[in-house]
Amino acid sequence: MPLCVPEIRGNEWQYVKNCLDTSWVSSVGAYVDRFEQKMAERLGAPFHGVATVNGTAALHTALLVAGVQPDDEVLVSDLTFIAPANAIRYAGAWPVLIDAEPGCWQMDPQQVELFLTRDCEMAGGVLRNRQSGRRVKAIIPVHILGHPVDLDPIMELAGRFDLVVIEDATEGLGGHYRGSPLGGIGHIGCYSFNGNKMITTGGGGMLVTGNPQWAEKARYLTTQAKDDPLEYIHGELGFNYRLTNLQAAMGCAQLEQLDAYLSAKEAIADRYRQELCMVPGITPMPTVDYGQSAWWLYTVRVDPAQYGMDRKTLMQRLAAEGIQTRPLWQPLHLSPVYRQAQRIGGEVSEQLNSSALSLPCSVGLSAAEQQRVIEALVRLGG
């Protein structure tokens, strides 16, 4: 039983066949435009979407559009898939790792405030990290596992310190924060359509923003910064970060089904919560009153003292029964790549990393399959 696999049961075949039949297979085409429009529509009126080759490219582009320069610093969640931190380095900037908060496992706004007020100073209209001397320019809160970050305090701090907020809403596509779709609250939002995400194009990504100049700039940078497409005049260093029409065709079909996927994922989450809250030593994933998770990967915490085995052993025992599970990411401050980075806190990320386990939660997971996971968790405990 796999952890989380794509669900392909809509117009994917038809739309992709249409690309093949018409030879519109490459990096321009009606499906690219439509995919961008449909994504922007989900966010509401003033939004623009720029499709990219993957989510990491969307993040890299977002940082460039936000004006992040080499040697700047960017705050990012310590407990996340590594991509947003890597994107910061691609831009030549340096990540400052912000711990998770224990309640909902997301970037802790209090740690953000601590860093900005304790470690930074405003000098000549520029916010600088006192220790490194570098300019602090942006924040990337990552909605991990689909669950919303508490964004209001982060947006307030960003306003106060003149920082750009780039939401990494890859795992949160379809989730909400105080009624607003995730990815549409910060200044820029980024999504990924990799095979294991909420919807997939095989590989792909998108940047969304309500700022038309930034959208235009993103389009420019992702298409090799062409000033004159005919004469091959390029105004600056650009990138080939375009999504193909073939992939966008799949994206259009997947997006049509997103609401159905979200309902299916929520039903899976509800069932897990109801059944697992009774198992000693298993703590179901948190819910919050300020938002609605997209329930990307349903995750529980395992308390070895109460449950009778640790997360690692439980993973192996479930694997032996053909049930795939997955731990959370190694906190970035422990990764060889980011060991040198400044971190604010990090203990909560480590605790979550050692105890959390994601359970099978594909959109197509049957009730019988889920029951098998639940029974295994009940049986192996205590």
Provide the binding-site residues for ligand PLP, judged by CB under 6 A.
54-56, 80-81, 83-84, 142, 168, 170-171, 192, 194, 205
Phi, psi (deg, nearest 5) at residue 84: -65, -35
Residue 77 CB, nearest approach to ligand PLP (Å):
8
User: Which residue's CB is nearer to ligand PLP, number 168 or number 275?
Assistant: 168
Burial of 313 (0-12, 13-18, 19+ CB in 10 A): middle
Q: Residues 136-166, buried b or exposed e (16+ Cβ, 10 A)?
A: bbbbbbbbbbbbbbbbeebbebbeebebbbb
Cβ-based neighbour number of residue 288 at 10 Å? 14
Q: Which of 197, 217, 265, 312 is catalytic?
A: 197
Name the residue nearer to ligand PLP (CB basis): 58 or 282: 58
Residue 175: both structure tokens together: 């989730």
Strand bridging mode 164-168 / 188-192: parallel
DSSP 131-190: TT-PBEEEEE-B-GGGPPP-HHHHHHHHHHHT-EEEEE-GGGTT-EETTEETTSSSSEEE
Q: How far apart are CA 318 and CA 282, in angstroms?
A: 15
Question: Is the CB of 108 or the CB of 171 nearer to ligand PLP?
Answer: 171
- One-character DSSP codes across 238-289: --B-PPPHHHHHHHHHHHHTHHHHHHHHHHHHHHHHHHHTTSTTEEPPP--T
226 included as an active-site residue: no
In the complex, the smallest distance separating the C-beta of residue 202 from ligand PLP, rounded to whole angstroms, is: 10
Least separation in angstroms between CB 218 and ligand PLP: 16
Residue 99 or 171: which CB sits closer to ligand PLP? 171
In the bound state with ligand PLP, the residue whose beta carbon lies nearer, of 204 and 281, is 204
> Which of 117, 115, 142, 120 shows the shortest CA–CA distance to 131?
120
What is the C-alpha separation between 9 and 25, in angstroms, rounded? 21
CB of 57 to ligand PLP, least distance (A): 7
Residue whose CB is less far from ligand PLP, 208 or 376? 208
Nearer to ligand PLP, 141 or 346 (CB): 141
Residue 368: CB minimum distance to ligand PLP, A: 29
Q: What distance in Å separates the CA atoms of residue 260 and residue 266, rounded to the nearest whole number?
A: 10
Least gap, CB of 4 to ligand PLP (angstroms): 11
Question: Which single residue brings its beta carbon nearest to ligand PLP?
Answer: 55
Q: Can you say whether the dihedral through the CA atoms of 74, 75, 81, 82 is positive or negative?
A: positive
Q: How far is the CB of 175 from ligand PLP (least distance, A)?
A: 13
Could you give the residue numbers annotated as active site?
Answer: 197
